Structure 1
Amino acid sequence: MSELRFEDVTVRYGRTLTAVDGADLLVPSGQVVGLVGESGSGKSTLARAAVGLADIAGGRILLDGVPLTDRRPLQMVFQDPYSSLDPRMTIGDSIAEAMPRADRRRGEVARLLELVELDADRASAYPGALSGGQRQRVAIARALAGRPEVLIADEITSALDVSIQGTVLNLVRTLQRELRLSMLFISHNLAVVRYVSDIVAVMYLGRIVEVGPAPDVLANPQHPYTKELLAAAPRRGSTALPPLDESLRLVADAEPADPHHPPAGCRFHPRCPVGPLIRTDREHCLTLDPTTDADRRLHHAACHHAGGALRAVGQNQSLLKEDSQ
Structure 2
Amino acid sequence: MSELAFDSVSVRYGGRRGLTAVDGVSLTVPAGKVVGLVGESGSGKSTLARAAVGLSPVSAGRVLLGGVDVRKLPRRRPLQMVFQDPYSSLNPRMTIGESIAEAMPRGTDRAAEVARLLELVNLDPERATHLPGQLSGGQRQRVALARALAGRPEALIADEITSALDVSVQGAVLNLVRSVQRQLGLSMLFISHNLAVIRYLSDFVAVMYLGRIVEAGPAEQVLADPQHPYTRDLLDAAPSAHKSLFDAEPGATADAEPPDPHYPPAGCRYHPRCPVGPLVRSDREICLQADPAEDSAPRRHASACHFAESGQKKAAPHSARNRC
Structure 2 CA distance for aligned equivalents of residues 257 and 13 of structure 1: 17
In the alignment, structure 1 residue 55 sits paired with structure 2 residue 57: yes
Structure 2 CA distance for aligned equivalents of residues 107 and 46 of structure 1: 35
Per the alignment, residue 13 of structure 2 pairs with 13
Higher helix share: 1
1:284 is displaced (CA, Å) by 1.2
CA deviations on 1:295-314 (whole Å, 9 max, x unpaired) are 01000000001139xxxxxx
**Please, which of 295, 304, 319 is the counterpart of residue 302 of structure 1?**
304
For 1:128-207, list aligned pairs within 5 A: 128-207=133-212
Q: How many residues align?
A: 296
Structure 2 CA distance for aligned equivalents of residues 52 and 252 of structure 1: 33
**Please, which of 110, 114, 117 is the counterpart of residue 122 of structure 2?**
117
1:174 is displaced (CA, Å) by 0.3
Structure 1 CA distance for aligned equivalents of residues 108 and 80 of structure 2: 21
1:289 is displaced (CA, Å) by 0.5
Per the alignment, residue 260 of structure 1 pairs with 262
1:14 is displaced (CA, Å) by 1.2
1:155 is displaced (CA, Å) by 0.3
Per the alignment, residue 107 of structure 1 pairs with 112
- Contact 1:225 / 1:272 at 8 angstroms: preserved in 2? yes
Per the alignment, residue 247 of structure 2 pairs with none
- Contact 1:79 / 1:154 at 8 angstroms: preserved in 2? yes
For 1:273-288, list aligned pairs within 5 A: 273-288=275-290
61-70 or 35-44: bigger deviation? 61-70
Per the alignment, residue 126 of structure 1 pairs with 131
CA deviations on 1:165-197 (whole Å, 9 max, x unpaired) are 000000000000000000000001111111100
- The percentage of aligned residue pairs carrying the same residue is 73
Structure 1 CA distance for aligned equivalents of residues 108 and 298 of structure 2: 53
Structure 1 CA distance for aligned equivalents of residues 292 and 47 of structure 2: 22
The alignment partner of 1:134 has SS state of helix
In the alignment, structure 1 residue 67 sits paired with structure 2 residue 72: no
Q: Which runs of 5+ in 2 are unaligned?
A: 244-252, 311-324
62-71 or 259-268: bigger deviation? 62-71
Segments of 4+ moved more than 4 angstroms: none
1:102 is displaced (CA, Å) by 4.2
- Contact 1:75 / 1:150 at 8 angstroms: preserved in 2? yes
Q: Which runs of 5+ in 1 are unaligned?
A: 239-250, 309-325
Per the alignment, residue 233 of structure 1 pairs with 238
Q: TM-score, normalised by structure 2?
A: 0.90
Per the alignment, residue 22 of structure 1 pairs with 24
Structure 2 CA distance for aligned equivalents of residues 58 and 221 of structure 1: 29
1:9 is displaced (CA, Å) by 0.5
Q: What amino acid maps onto 2:83 in structure 1?
A: F
Q: What amino acid maps onto 1:135 in structure 2?
A: R
Structure 1 CA distance for aligned equivalents of residues 108 and 214 of structure 2: 47
Per the alignment, residue 42 of structure 2 pairs with 40
- Contact 1:8 / 1:60 at 8 angstroms: preserved in 2? yes
The alignment partner of 1:40 has SS state of coil
Per the alignment, residue 248 of structure 1 pairs with none
In the alignment, structure 1 residue 83 sits paired with structure 2 residue 88: yes
Structure 2 CA distance for aligned equivalents of residues 14 and 76 of structure 1: 26
- Contact 1:52 / 1:70 at 8 angstroms: preserved in 2? no
Aligned CA distance change for structure 1 residues 220 and 86 (closer, same or farther; 3 Å): same
The alignment partner of 1:296 has SS state of coil
The alignment partner of 1:271 has SS state of coil
Aligned CA distance change for structure 1 residues 38 and 164 (closer, same or farther; 3 Å): same
1:70 is displaced (CA, Å) by 4.8
Structure 1 CA distance for aligned equivalents of residues 4 and 182 of structure 2: 18
